[in-house]
Structure 1
Amino acid sequence: MLQQTTKIGDKPTKKRFQILTLIFISVVINYMDRTNISVAASALTEELSLSSVQMGLIFSAFGWTYSLLQIPGGLTVDLVKIRILYPFILTAWSIATLVQGLVSSFAALIGCRMIIGVFEAPSYPCNNKIVTTWFPENERASAIAVYTSGQFIGLAFLMPVLALIQSQFGWRGLFIISGIIGIVWAVVWYIFYRDPKDHPSINQSELKLIEADEVKTTSTNSKEPKKETKISKQDFIAVFSNKKLWGIYIGQYCLGGTLMFFLTWFPTYLVEYRGLDFIQSGFLASVPFLAAFCGVLVSGFSSDFLVKKGVSKEVARKAPIIVGMLLTIFILGANYTDDTFWVITFLSIAFFGNGLSSIAWVFVSLLAPKHLVGLVGGCFNSIGGLSAVTVPIIIGFLVQGGDFKPALIFIASLAAIGSCAYLFLVGKIERISTESPSVEAKAI
């Protein structure tokens, strides 16, 4: 353990925000490696003579392993130190990204995408565990909003950059450069990340600020296990049978459906269905990502503001998610116009709504027993990750005839279902106890 520097004075240091910066950049790299395949899709389809169904399978291959391994990934986060785990998985998925630039077959691309999914699986449970460890409860939605915004603001600027890289170095160079960036960042992460009690320059005031919520939770929830070294059968029953948790699981799947359209088929939609040239599509594709970035920041900071003003968590935490999913239904508007401006406008409103809904991770921190944050996060992201498996393939079949209208109807339907999940299943926001699953966990 590093020697902690004790500082005199009551003003807390702000080391937690430096840690948040590390998470933010990691999320940008994470999503760069997920989505560079969408930028390369047109070139891949032409060079390797791939059909829309085959391309849908390549898009979804990441989700097969990513979703399947969320629960093991969540358990790993509970058992392995973040400082060791994060740079390891970052290096591994970056190597797989790089290798994509060296292969030339449909099967090899599927394999690389599956490997990326394997090693990215623990990443979001890691992010949530770090925020739970480093931030008091009344700052977590803002923290989650900031790092989640990395997937949007990063891609908003990266989409045109990735398009330019591909225009200069080809789709192979795009993958190789992306992989190298991730490997370098893994080294940076290991050098700079520490848990709060191990950080060399955090002061006691910030530590007390971070730990205040832990003390409050322990004193007000006597049923919560104080120390838990093993995850029991009862824990698994609670995690998989609780109605509140299923509400956020279903909501996350529906939220992921919109995201997967933008991360996979969106550039193809602009180029092949809307007739835009490749470079132009890269710049126009950035607009909805900027809208989503604004949405997630508005959601996180307004939600925390309402909590600090004494507004109930049912309103402060759930309202942005429900409103966001309802706004996502505006994606249907793109089916009724041929004007590029209005197409981008409707898609931007929809993706703004997706960003507004993206603080859903805060419910893992609010509902999960303290010793099961990683496991619940794994279940949450596993079921959400099924959208990465199913949605690209479904869209691939829906657009076989070159018409994207059914695909947009499908995305709007998912958003409507997601809003209903939060309205009718989540209910009162309170931490779940694993002591009496017969009472606390209502099977559905």
Structure 2
Amino acid sequence: MTDTATAARAATASRARVLIAVLLFGTVVINYLDRSNLSIALPAITEELELSTAQQGLLLSAFGWTYAAMQIPGGWLVDRIRPRVLYPLCLVLWSLATLFMGVVGGFVALIVLRLLVGACEAPAYPINSRVATVWFPERERATAIGFYTSGQFIGLALLTPVLSWLQAAVSWHWVFILTGLVGIVWGVVWYLGYREPRESRANAAEVELIRSGGGLVDLVDEQPRRARITRGDLATVLGRRKLWGIYLGQFCLTSTLWFFLTWFPTYLVDYRGMDYIKSGFLASLPFVAALVGVLASGLVSDFLLRRGASLGLARKAPIIIGLLLSTLMVGASFTDSTALVIVFLSVAFFGNGLASITWSLVSALAPERLLGLTGGMFNFIGNLSSIATPIVIGFLVTEDSFTPAFVYMTAVTVAGILSYVLLVGRVERVAER
């Protein structure tokens, strides 16, 4: 009887949530272009400003300092300000900071502006998680998360060669000016296009389909009334083993991502002797592989769930398998062939993409009232890697060898596997204390 009713609702339900997925996708594309544009421009900036490897690591890590530090305040904002207002505000602010990176030229000014980009991007993924939890039933949520997460790799795969060409044809300044302008325009698009489910064009059947499937369609009416984060809230999000499992696992997963977003183009140019155009093309190939991994992850996870697998198996299997594949990046240290290096790193980044549905565990585990705070803590601890990875690699590598960086990345990935296997356990929503 329940299956019949669900099928009837699905037949008559509108598809407004498809537009929401597209809006999230576009925002993620811009989000990650503004994270990675510095890595594309860095070889040219380094040549112009005569930066050391330590200075390069510091500049690459600047985003991560404020991005991580603002996760908890950002999560607090997500629990209190509607996504229709908060997201475009953040978009415009971080895009303006990006644009001005193309206007100024000093090392200190670049660091300051990069710090601003990190601070303003901080609420982005907690907002994504909140929107996905509100707009998609559990049976569709991993697919939706996989789709919009793929935006980070589609944008990087398709636009990395374009930005590399732009830098070679004009200058590195235009890499930041162009990406900044695109973000400002998209902020306006989000504000005009986004609504909560009951305030949108979704019909009653679609809203009920989402609600009955576990989507929190009335979350906007259940916003917490407390004006501050309480000690009990922090005790909940910091005192549960399950949540620490996904926090630490996310740090390990995003360490691989931040290698590709920061040092990878420099590795190809300085350690493999490629020019900007060729390196831009080859640098895009691992992102294509990651895109395939991301799209597969959501589809496989939701398929397993529909076929009767437990929520834990459906969500954790792609993550653990993906992390195992990511360890293969160490193979790049044992070959002199550029083609094989790209193969090893593409397989590793495919694995990173396959593992990238970790936000589905936030949706499944976080207390309902603390979705934003849990997402903020998850992103805070996870994105400490955005600070650690650029700096650690900057100190580990030598002028002649990048091998220590690959060994470090592999060890961190193994730690991530252990975290998901030993700490997360059964996937079920955490109750508040």
TM-score interval, normalised by the smaller of the two chains: over 0.9
Question: Tell me, which stretches of 5 or more residues in structure 2 are unaligned?
Answer: 1-8
Aligned: 1:212 with 2:212: yes
Shift of 1:216: 10
Map 1:215-230 to 2 at 5 A: 228-230=224-226
Map 1:247-326 to 2 at 5 A: 247-326=245-324
Q: Deviations over 1:144-181 (max 9, x none)?
A: 10111111111000110111111222011111111111
Partner of 2:6: none
Q: Is the 8 A contact 1:53 1:400 kept in 2?
A: no
Q: Which amino acid aligns with 1:331?
A: M
Partner of 1:358: 356
Partner of 1:78: 79
Shift of 1:103: 1.4
Partner of 2:428: 430
The number of aligned residues is 420
Distance 1:213 1:283, change over 3 A: same
Q: Deviations over 1:16-66 (max 9, x none)?
A: 011110110110001111111001011000000101110100100000000
Partner of 2:28: 27
Distance 1:9 1:269, change over 3 A: closer
Shift of 1:10: 5.1
Matched residue SS, 1:319? helix
Partner of 2:48: 47
Map 1:158-237 to 2 at 5 A: 158-199=159-200, 201-214=201-214, 228-230=224-226, 231-237=229-235
Match of 1:381 among 376, 379, 392: 379
Equivalent-residue separation in structure 1 for 2:409 and 2:27 (angstroms): 28
Q: Is the 8 A contact 2:135 2:217 kept in 1?
A: no
Distance 1:71 1:156, change over 3 A: same
Shift of 1:9: 10
Aligned: 1:370 with 2:368: yes
Shift of 1:402: 3.5
Partner of 1:157: 158
Partner of 1:96: 97
Q: Which amino acid aligns with 2:44?
A: A
Q: Is the 8 A contact 2:326 2:351 kept in 1?
A: yes
Matched residue SS, 2:321? helix
Matched residue SS, 2:95? helix
Q: Is the 8 A contact 2:13 2:205 kept in 1?
A: yes
Distance 1:53 1:216, change over 3 A: closer
Distance 1:281 1:372, change over 3 A: same
TM-score normalised according to structure 2 size: 0.94
Larger CA deviation: 153-162 vs 232-241: 232-241
Partner of 2:417: 419
Equivalent-residue separation in structure 2 for 1:313 and 1:195 (angstroms): 26
Equivalent-residue separation in structure 1 for 2:11 and 2:393 (angstroms): 55
Equivalent-residue separation in structure 2 for 1:217 and 1:151 (angstroms): 26
Q: Which amino acid aligns with 1:72?
A: P
Matched residue SS, 1:154? helix
Q: Deviations over 1:354-402 (max 9, x none)?
A: 0011000011110011111110000000001100011100011112433
Partner of 1:111: 112
Question: Tell me, which stretches of 5 or more residues in structure 1 are unaligned?
Answer: 1-7, 219-225, 436-444
Q: Is the 8 A contact 2:13 2:204 kept in 1?
A: yes
Equivalent-residue separation in structure 1 for 2:217 and 2:117 (angstroms): 37
Q: Is the 8 A contact 1:13 1:206 kept in 2?
A: yes
Equivalent-residue separation in structure 2 for 1:412 and 1:323 (angstroms): 14
Equivalent-residue separation in structure 2 for 1:150 and 1:161 (angstroms): 16
Identity of aligned residues (%): 53
Partner of 2:242: 244
Distance 1:87 1:372, change over 3 A: same
Shift of 1:314: 2.2
Partner of 1:66: 67
Match of 1:390 among 388, 391, 395: 388
TM-score normalised according to structure 1 size: 0.92
Equivalent-residue separation in structure 1 for 2:215 and 2:276 (angstroms): 54
Matched residue SS, 1:359? coil
Shift of 1:258: 0.2
Partner of 2:3: none
Distance 1:275 1:215, change over 3 A: closer
Equivalent-residue separation in structure 2 for 1:27 and 1:244 (angstroms): 27
Q: Which amino acid aligns with 2:205?
A: S
Q: Which amino acid aligns with 2:213?
A: D
Q: Which amino acid aligns with 1:169?
A: V
Q: Is the 8 A contact 2:291 2:350 kept in 1?
A: yes
